[in-house]
Amino acid sequence: MSSSAPTRLLSLGRAGWFGLVFLLSAGAGGLAAAHTQNGTLGSVASATDHYEVTCYDDGSGSPQSLSVEIRDSSPGALPQVSAHVQRNETVASTSDDTAANGSPGPEIHINEGPGVYRVLVTKTGSGTKFYSVSFHCNVGLNGTGAHAGSVISVLQSQ
């Protein structure tokens, strides 16, 4: 029998391990860097995805509104997907009435200034649905003016 040294499978160093742990932990929930978030609602009728969008002044001005639209990218019309936005006492909803046509449903605007907005994505029944939801913080009311800063956090993905 010969004795051999242990084989090193992965040599990342301290910084590399930290980066790997960060990337793996961000998979189930975490921050999204883009203004558009793709998601999947599982087959259960009650499946709901939950996001927080924080609008802030990134130097372009204080945000006054959040604009949201949703696009159903699943084949087949039913169930229908919707996005519901809430901040303070204001709630608005939008739905994509035509699945997989490449166009989103109507854009909605919440005029509640800087801060945290909650966005829920739901569907009207059972069946897996794929969607894309877009978020834009704006310095003007009703989605007008320059884009302000935004951070999107994924709180729940079902």
- Whether residue 24 is contained in a domain is answered as no
Cα 18 to chain centroid distance, Å, stands at: 25
- Whether residue 12 is contained in a domain is answered as no
Listed in sequence order, the residues at least 6 apart from 132 whose beta carbon sits closer than 8 Å to its beta carbon are 36, 37, 38, 39, 70, 71, 73, 104
pLDDT tens for each residue of the chain, 158 residues long: 444 444 343 444 444 433 333 333 333 344 444 489 999 999 999 999 999 999 999 999 999 999 999 999 988 778 999 999 999 999 999 999 877 787 899 999 999 999 999 999 999 999 999 999 999 999 999 999 999 999 999 999 99
- Whether residue 21 is contained in a domain is answered as no
Q: For residue 116, what are the CA distances in angstroms to 3, 66, 119, 129?
A: 60, 10, 10, 26
Give the CATH number for residue 144: 2.60.120.380
pLDDT at 77 (0 to 100): 74
Instruction: Report helix, strand or coil for 136.
Output: strand
pLDDT at 5 (0 to 100): 44
Q: Do 66 and 85 form a contact (C-beta atoms < 8 A)?
A: yes
Q: Do 157 and 49 form a contact (C-beta atoms < 8 A)?
A: yes
pLDDT at 23 (0 to 100): 35
- Whether residue 70 is contained in a domain is answered as yes
| Burial (CB count within 10 angstroms: exposed 0-12, middle 13-18, buried 19+), residue 58 | middle
Structural domain total, the chain = 1
- Whether residue 67 is contained in a domain is answered as yes
Pair of tokens at residue 157: 């993905």
- Whether residue 64 is contained in a domain is answered as yes
Helix or strand holding residue 18 (H, E)? helix 13-25
- Whether residue 93 is contained in a domain is answered as yes
Instruction: Report helix, strand or coil for 141.
Output: helix
Structural domain for 44, as ranges: 31-156
- Whether residue 98 is contained in a domain is answered as yes
